[in-house]
Structure 1
Amino acid sequence: MSGSTALSVENVTWAPRRGAPLLIHPTSFTLAPGRVLGIVGPNGAGKTTLLRMLYRFQAPLSGHIRIDGEDLWAMAPRVAARRVAAVLQEQPTDFALSVREIVALGRLPHRTGFAAPGARESAIIASALDRMELHGFADRPLGTLSGGERQRVMMARALAQQPQLLVLDEPTNHLDIRHQLEALALIRSLGPTIVTSLHDLNLAADLCDAVLVLREGRPLGFGPPREVLREALVSRAFGVTARRERLSPSGRAHFSFHLST
């Protein structure tokens, strides 16, 4: 990895066009280098929309996104691609490329001209395959893999990119229980600053240094999970009755949910 970066989001908003209703209302937060932020909220809360601005898929209507003080949207696309990588929920299924070739795409922002990959590039690609336990699949076409296997390939491609900011949209989707746990442990160990959307509040509490709670595109809370993920705020965000319990002997918090009456 190429280190991590400080992330600052300043009064960011988004709408499909000027004059249309906002889908993301003014949102601000800061994240120190190497920290993990989880974005949580019900379906339609704006989680994916916010992430798209962080990986330069759609520009903010207003506000700024800065990494290490530099405006992300003022950077040249190639420069931004060296610093920010994303793993999305949507997965390609019809690529005629092999797993190794897909992972190698993560190195494109770092290449100059038509230079062929050297020994260092090959070592980075091999390391990414190793970390996601994909060497046995390296020569298989991507379209022959299961959803969980493709998810691991997309993660390996992002690792090969060596980003300073890694954006993950529901990274445990499509993964079985074993690979969910492995993916979460991997996320904690990666090194770059990470912003991830999660649907499981218990995972967010265990994994993240900070959480941002969204509802209908509005931030309801930001900060350490133990301070933000309180019963009243979670109940308000998800429209349910939330109960936070302590699991013995670990002492870890666990949420249970009931329909509000």
Structure 2
Amino acid sequence: MTKIALEARNLSWGANGGGVILHETSFMVGAGRILGVVGPNGAGKSMLLRLLYRFYRPRTGQVLVGGKDIQTMGARSAAQRIAAVLQEQPTDFALSVREIVALGRTPHRRGLSSNGARDAEIITSALSKLDLLRFADRSFGTLSGGERQRVMVARALAQEPKVLILDEPTNHLDIRHQLEVLTLVSGLGLTIITSLHDLNLASAYTDDVLVLAGGHSLAFGPPATVLNEDLVSRAFQVNTRIERLEPSGQSHFTYHL
């Protein structure tokens, strides 16, 4: 039986005194699996992710990591379990790539202590896994968008999280860098929850998908089962056609109004 890495139970959110933006949503993510969160703009994807990495407190429900409610944890403890990479990355860090990745060790340090030998090993390993060792001494601001995205994933990896959350990791990247980032991320062996706009990428790189529309959960399960023409058309308000590509069997989505 697959171990559950993260569970969302009846999770909802709305501003104080305002309407509900994300209605009650429940799902479980098995250890080592990749969940793609898909849906049109305004569906509630980013809001859901913010609840999962404890940026907001839910109006109802719980987020459990390793069976523990993250709202009962301190900030340091939560950061040791969940790491997040956001859509917009800074470009003006006056730091080297290695120094930025080293920031991922902050939740594991006590007081003003500096990184030790084990921290250095973890930082180097994170750089290696994201193919960044050759950039380690480069200034972050000199890197391309795809390279910067990989640095931020490496920083998150250095946190040694149980769950890695990526908010639109392919945003603003060209096709080559989209594929590069997703290929590297999918090979990490971590439990990953990522929001994606492109259903073709979601179908190719995720184990399960959660479909949101208008703040409601429409479906959850394997892409080949969940992402059917009727559901996609309903969620995105377009006419959808799905072709199965041979010999991979992957789905290819085309749309029209």
TM range (shorter): over 0.9
Between stretches 174-183 and 75-84, larger displacement belongs to 174-183
1:97 to 90, 95, 114: 95
Counterpart of 1:15 in structure 2 is 14
Aligned amino acid, residue 201 of structure 1: L
8 A contact 2:32–2:192 mirrored in 1: yes
Specify the SS of the correspondent of 1:235: helix
Counterpart of 2:30 in structure 1 is 32
8 A contact 1:42–1:237 mirrored in 2: yes
8 A contact 2:4–2:28 mirrored in 1: no
Q: CA deviation at 1:154?
A: 0.5
Specify the SS of the correspondent of 2:219: strand
Once superposed, what is the RMSD of the aligned Cα atoms?
1.5
Counterpart of 2:186 in structure 1 is 188
Q: CA deviation at 1:167?
A: 0.2
Specify the SS of the correspondent of 1:93: coil
Kindly tell me: are residues 178 and 127 of structure 1, through their superposed partners in 2, closer, same or farther at Cα, counting changes over 3 Å? farther
Specify the SS of the correspondent of 1:64: strand
Q: Matched residue pairs, number?
A: 255
Partners of 1:257 and 1:69 lie apart in 2 by 40
Partners of 2:19 and 2:99 lie apart in 1 by 42
How many percent of aligned residue pairs carry the same amino acid?
A: 62
Q: CA deviation at 1:5?
A: 5.6
Write the deviation string for residues 81-132 of structure 1: whole angstroms up to 9, x where unpaired: 0010011111112222221111000011111233222222111111211222
Q: CA deviation at 1:215?
A: 0.5
Aligned amino acid, residue 11 of structure 2: V
Q: Which runs of 5+ in 1 are unaligned?
A: none
8 A contact 2:146–2:181 mirrored in 1: no
The aligned runs of 1:63-142 (5 Å cut-off) are 63-142=61-140
Aligned amino acid, residue 223 of structure 2: P
TM-score by length of 2: 0.94
8 A contact 1:5–1:164 mirrored in 2: no
The aligned runs of 1:140-151 (5 Å cut-off) are 140-151=138-149
Specify the SS of the correspondent of 1:6: strand
2:161 to 150, 160, 163: 163
Counterpart of 1:236 in structure 2 is 234
